[in-house]
Amino acid sequence: MSEKTTIYDIAKELNISAATVSRALNKNPKISESTCKLVMETAAKMNYKQNQLALALRSGRSNNVGVIVPRIDSNFFASTIRGIEEELHPNKYNVIICQTHENEKREIENINTLLNAQVDGIMISITNESKENEKIIHRVLEKNVPLIFFDRKKNIDGVSSVTINDYKGGYIATKHLIDEGCKRIAHLSGDQSLEIYENRFKGYKQALLDHGIEFDENYVIQTKSNVEAGGVAADKLLQLKTPPDAIFSSSDFAALGAIQELKAQGIKIPEDFCVVGFGNEPFTKFMELSISSVDQSPLEMGKMTAKVFLEQINNTENFKMEKKVVLNPELHIRKSSSRQNL
């Protein structure tokens, strides 16, 4: 393996000092334009690569940012990451992606790894287990590294966030089911220790109360965001003495599982039972029985998260500014809940 070219090799080739080469590579105004050009051309010819970590230490910027998500094999998080990258790439930032797999310990490890890598900022959607991680979050703030929550967040002073209005999303989904004639609407909820699921539940509950439908806690089941869990939850609801006639699910995957279980039990959708999900995953519109769902606008969320970061890191007068961006949800009505064309 050939040795890497150093500034000393360039200096020897040009018969100038290594200090002059270093200054020229860093475009020091004390070095003439002609010398800078000659050094740059020679460096390119000799395949010289600058040490990015050393540059970061000198400039205080690494031009790297960290993005932490529960998982990347999800259309929502993949689209959000895409939005972040599309906004940051023209601004010469590279994105380092980390996954927590819904594990708080891994989340803490990811944050420490990114801090050790001298990233210029961290954008994070916290895990379901995030209960004891505020200490590491405060460490990020103490190091003056911009931290932005997206989708899933904690309410911490000095930390910006980009979310959608989950309360409104839960409300409009439930109101739609009421407008379709549903009277006994169940809710498949995520872990309500996370604000997004708590707010979706609150929107669901308020829509019932606003339309004169009594809230029944037996119709609320906390479940994981996967197909199998949705099927199990639907079966449990159907075994009630007075089963529901609709489900608003906080997850499209759980909604899909519920639909599969309903069909297996011979229940007609949407004639006898309506279902609405949350997330607007791609599969919801391509199925034979397309699924109504609340869109979370992941691409827009990613772009906005990146914009908040850029605004914060470029604001030297108020580096620790706090900004809360709340996007509007949109309900896409499809076959699983639409009775109007029957």
Q: Per residue of the chain (342 residues), give pLDDT as tens.
A: 356 888 888 888 889 988 888 888 877 888 888 898 898 889 888 888 766 555 555 555 778 999 999 999 889 999 999 999 999 999 989 999 999 998 989 999 999 999 998 899 999 999 876 666 778 888 888 888 899 999 999 888 888 999 999 999 999 999 999 999 999 999 999 989 889 999 999 999 999 999 999 999 999 999 999 999 999 999 999 999 999 999 999 999 999 999 999 999 999 999 999 999 999 999 999 999 999 999 999 999 999 999 999 998 887 665 567 889 999 999 999 999 998 766
Domain ranges of the chain: 7-50, 63-164+298-327, 166-296
Q: Confirm whether 63-164+298-327 and 166-296 share one CATH topology.
A: yes
| pLDDT at res. 73 | 86
Question: Shortest CA distance to 146 belongs to which of 158, 155, 133?
Answer: 158
Task: Give the CATH superfamily of 166-296.
Answer: Response regulator (3.40.50.2300)
| pLDDT at res. 53 | 54
Measured distance CA(110)–CA(104) in Å, rounded: 10
Structurally, what CATH architecture does the domain formed by 63-164+298-327 represent?
A: 3-Layer(aba) Sandwich (3.40)
**Which CATH code is given to the segment(s) 7-50?**
1.10.260.40
Q: Using the Cα atoms of residue 94, residue 133, residue 253 and residue 324 in order, give the sign of their dihedral.
A: negative
| pLDDT at res. 318 | 56
Measured distance CA(166)–CA(158) in Å, rounded: 22
Q: Which residues of 192-220 are buried (b: 16+ CB within 10 A; e: fewer)?
A: bebbbbbbbbebbbbbbeeeebeeeeebb
How far is Cα of residue 317 from the mean position of the Cα atoms in its chain?
A: 28
Strand 147-150 and strand 160-164: the pairing is parallel
Measured distance CA(149)–CA(153) in Å, rounded: 5
